[in-house]
Structure 1
Amino acid sequence: MSGTSIFDDQSSRLSYDDTWKLVHNYLGHTSFVLEKVSLEPIELRGGNLGDYYKVSVVVKLHLQKQEIHLFAKFLPSLNEATMSMVKKGPSQKEDFFYNILIEEFRSVGLGAYLDFYPKCYLSKVNDVLILEDLTLADYQLTPSQTFYTYEMLKVSVRQLAKLHASTLVYEERKSAEAGWIVRLDQRFAVYLREFLFQTEEDNEVKQLCRVGINSVVDYLIYRFPEIIRGMTVEEFARKAKEAYEYLWLKVKKSEKYRNAFCHG
């Protein structure tokens, strides 16, 4: 079957070579033939830094067919500003996490504890990320208006704790091997600096963040004065602006406490 005829209209965002590579990574061998590829847009989503799809790939294995279901995150096509923001760093960070950091963790014997992330089968910076479809394991997207229960928070924090702990174990074991102190932000500084929530670099990303914050504190808050209790709208807007400014400081590297790789 030719490389072009296996794709439907939506699937043109995936090339034949990329599809072959992700199936190779998924199966672990090359004894297959690509039969059909389809992408279904995901309407319900919790983020704006990508276009999300359900991926279905039908392959022939010897005389049998197998359908592989995965998840795809493409560079956002929403607008040029969002696409530009992703290209400034988030896409590189995702690629670093799946292709470099996880393998670094494995190299120091942490493989048995790395169950806090979806498996990645293809990563191309500023293009596409193909992951396992966690909905097949009954994971669900929680509506944004949902208040987390204690049990929900415990599940989330437990998984994040594994990521943070892996950072510390990795640094300790690498330090023991090297004979000097090894820190992730020294080895991989280009990937671990903050791209989005920062005030040092006067670039497009900073300007986009500022516009978003100003639209909330200078406009949206004043459109809904009825939701504010115990203070004036002006006071609430001032406190909201202070909270946003505090955010810039909280994401910086701590000079007091031990730092860990964090999701963000």
Structure 2
Amino acid sequence: MDFLNIPSKFCEDLAQKIIGEKCTVMNCTLEPLGDFKCGFMGEHSILKISIKESDQVLRFFLKSEPRVAMMREFADATRLFFKEHSFYHKIIPEFKKCNIQEMEDVVPTSYKYEKPNILFLEDLSLKNYTIFDSRQSLVSGFVNSALSTFAKFHASSLIYEEIRSKAIGKQYRLIDDYKNELKESFYGHTIYNVRSVDSTTKGIITQIDLFPEIEIENRDEFKSFVVNIWKNVNEFAKPSLKYRNVICQADPWITNLMFKSGDEIKSKLIDYQMIRYAPPAQDVISFLYLCTTREFRKTHLKSSLEYYYAELKKILEKYEIDENIVSETDFWDSVKYYEPFGMVQNLNHSHMTKLSPSAVKKLFENPFALQKFIFEDKSESLVKLCDENVRYKEKQKECILDFLDNYN
């Protein structure tokens, strides 16, 4: 654990908090999570604390800054760890004071540590929660579970704002107290954001040309159509002036959800580095594009959205809150507005998230290739990756076809 400089006193206090009484820590070890220990924006490990009195070994999920220098610089510039630490230890405690159970149902427990660039979380695998391979797609039961989780997550913001508004006798919004915490990170205006958008812009043009078999009446015009949506992502990411905003998870791809199977499939959201203040439809439509197949969406997109809204409405009714704070008309209007954002999120994310584990490992082990892919021009890599992996290429084609449906 030396590289993180975690004090033994913290491990002792953490162990005592879990056990509920004074105990002696025999040993603390930190083990990489899986063969490839780096997340895209963090390093993931398991902390094990051995207890003398009971021979018990406590386990915690630990998230720390990326060791890869350029990713660490990106995380620092966009304040990803500040946002996540603030979510767990500033925002969540306020929700708890208002007895909003729904938020606690879907968010892991976090144990406060003095350094915001290291997070200690409960190890959900001990409760039989598992994570999908990033290249997989969800089917109906898991989709509905995730949509219920998003409904609880989003409803919690609405409930909290209504409770606070009533208490102070005037309109209250979360952005009033948490402007810095909810400031856009991934689609902001740092040099890293700008360079990343430029790299993907070049990649989009190359990606469309990878599929000459797709019939497009005016290919150059279609490229401009897709690129213009992509270049407008920072506008989509802003708080809406038209629709009611909530705290959005903002990065709802498949490995940011964990599922527990059984008579009822349960799920939790596990990453809050990119939280933003935006309408709930933004999260939901992005999730459906990022985590399901094109064929699933053709059949189930509308019914999935209906299911989500019904779940949201049910929770608001439980707290005796007028469902019209997110009216059905506003919800469907906002879905229509944010669907291009969901598609372009899917396109951008799929360049990285649909890579095989070996391809990700290879990319992160080569700083020059990684920098070129993320911050310069991913075109060359996209061509090579599609040549090497049919499954990867098919996913990239799906993304183009989604746009073509909305272009024609």
TM-score w.r.t. the length of structure 2 is 0.55
Percent of aligned positions that are identical: 22
Please state if 1:204 is matched with 2:191.
yes
Residue 152 of structure 1 and its aligned partner are, at CA, apart by 1.6
Letter in 2 for 1:247: V
Please state if 1:39 is matched with 2:24.
no
Residue 211 of structure 1 and its aligned partner are, at CA, apart by 4.1
Match of 1:84 in 2: 73
Letter in 1 for 2:240: S
Q: Aligned to 2:125, what secondary structure does the other structure show?
A: helix
The correspondence for 1:65, drawn from 50, 55, 62, is 55
Cα separation, 2, equivalents of 1:35 and 1:59: 6
Cα separation, 2, equivalents of 1:215 and 1:25: 51
Match of 2:176 in 1: 186
Letter in 2 for 1:50: G
- Pairs within 5 Å for 1:91-240: 91-111=81-101, 114-198=104-188, 201=189, 203-219=190-206, 221=207, 225-226=210-211, 229-231=214-216, 234=220, 237-240=223-226
Cα separation, 1, equivalents of 2:244 and 2:176: 14
Change (3 A) 1:149 1:37: same
Change (3 A) 1:112 1:140: closer
The correspondence for 2:45, drawn from 53, 70, 73, is 53
Please state if 1:248 is matched with 2:234.
yes
Residue 33 of structure 1 and its aligned partner are, at CA, apart by 1.5
Letter in 1 for 2:237: V
Residue 38 of structure 1 and its aligned partner are, at CA, apart by 1.1
Please state if 1:26 is matched with 2:12.
no
Letter in 2 for 1:143: D
Residue 180 of structure 1 and its aligned partner are, at CA, apart by 1.1
Residue 15 of structure 1 and its aligned partner are, at CA, apart by 2.8
> Which runs of 5 or more residues in structure 2 are unaligned?
251-408
Residues 121 and 130 in structure 1, CA contact (< 8 A), matched pair in contact too: yes
Residues 225 and 233 in structure 1, CA contact (< 8 A), matched pair in contact too: no
Residues 189-198 or 226-235, more deviating: 226-235
Residue 217 of structure 1 and its aligned partner are, at CA, apart by 2.3
Residues 54 and 72 in structure 1, CA contact (< 8 A), matched pair in contact too: yes
Letter in 2 for 1:225: L
Residues 70-79 or 138-147, more deviating: 138-147
Letter in 2 for 1:137: K
Residues 26 and 50 in structure 2, CA contact (< 8 A), matched pair in contact too: yes
More helix by share: 2
Change (3 A) 1:183 1:28: farther
Q: Aligned to 1:214, what secondary structure does the other structure show?
A: helix
Residues 23 and 121 in structure 1, CA contact (< 8 A), matched pair in contact too: no
Residue 104 of structure 1 and its aligned partner are, at CA, apart by 0.5
Change (3 A) 1:158 1:234: same
Q: Tell me: higher relative CO, structure 1 or 2? Use CA pairs within 8 A at least 6 residues apart.
A: 2
Cα separation, 2, equivalents of 1:260 and 1:56: 36
Match of 1:6 in 2: none
> Which runs of 5 or more residues in structure 1 are unaligned?
1-9
Residue 245 of structure 1 and its aligned partner are, at CA, apart by 2.2
Change (3 A) 1:23 1:120: same
Letter in 2 for 1:23: A
Please state if 1:15 is matched with 2:7.
yes
Cα separation, 2, equivalents of 1:12 and 1:111: 37
TM-score w.r.t. the length of structure 1 is 0.82
Q: Aligned to 1:115, what secondary structure does the other structure show?
A: helix
Deviation per residue, 1:134-168 (Å, 9 max, x gap): 12222222122212212221111111111111101
Residues 166-175 or 136-145, more deviating: 136-145
Cα separation, 1, equivalents of 2:220 and 2:177: 46
Change (3 A) 1:143 1:213: same
Q: Aligned to 1:64, what secondary structure does the other structure show?
A: coil
Residue 112 of structure 1 and its aligned partner are, at CA, apart by 6.5
CA RMSD of aligned residues (A): 2.5
Cα separation, 2, equivalents of 1:133 and 1:227: 46
Match of 2:270 in 1: none
